[in-house]
Amino acid sequence: MAGIALKISIEGLNEAISKLGGLDNLNVTDMLEQVGGLGESFARERIDTSKQSPDGSAWPKWSPNYARTRHSGHSMLDGDGNLADSITYIVGSGQVSVGSPLIYAAVHQFGYDVKNIPARPYLGLSAANENEITDLMNDYLSGVLHA
């Protein structure tokens, strides 16, 4: 992705699976697809609803000058919905990347000092997000083991 991405890796999972015996050929792509879907929904929820960083802190407000250019249909990082709509995921070998290909996506994630734009992180995992992903992976692997 040209913009910005969060990578979630499942290091050590293949070794653990092979130790279980009989599952060493398990394809984890389906599980990673589900993790990617969750990561995508976490980022979209931050942009569309919570307006908070993964650590739970509220995003900085608009500057007064910038606020004058917005109308009632605009909210933080959600003018026309392009950023939220651009969030997607890509599954690779043992990992999934969640992000946006939009060039300005990184500006919102990290800020841009030259233009006095503060960071408003929308990619990342909160403790609750990590728990949800862990539960998903446990449920997935449990289903495979009991199938």
Give residue 1's pLDDT. 44
* Beta carbons of 133 and 139 less than 8 angstroms apart: no
In DSSP notation, the chain reads --SEEEEEE-TTHHHHHHHHSS-TT---HHHHHHHHHHHHHHHHHIIIII-B-TTSPBPPPPPHHHHTT--TT-BTTBSSSHHHHH-EEEEETTEEEEEE--TTHHHHHH-BGGGTBPP---SS--HHHHHHHHHHHHHHHHHHHT-
Are 78 and 47 in contact by the 8 Å Cβ rule? The answer is: yes
Query: Which among 99, 93, 84 is positioned nearest to 1, based on CA atoms?
Result: 99
Nearest to 136 by CA among 20, 24, 37: 37
What is the tens place of the pLDDT at every residue in 68-113? Answer: 888 777 777 777 678 999 999 999 888 899 999 998 899 999 999 9
Using a 10 angstrom Cβ sphere, with 0-12 exposed, 13-18 middle and 19 or more buried, the burial of residue 40 is: middle
Q: What does the domain layout of the chain look like in residue ranges?
A: 4-145
Whole-number pLDDT of residue 144: 72
- Residue 16 confidence (pLDDT): 63
Instruction: Note the pLDDT of residue 13.
Output: 63
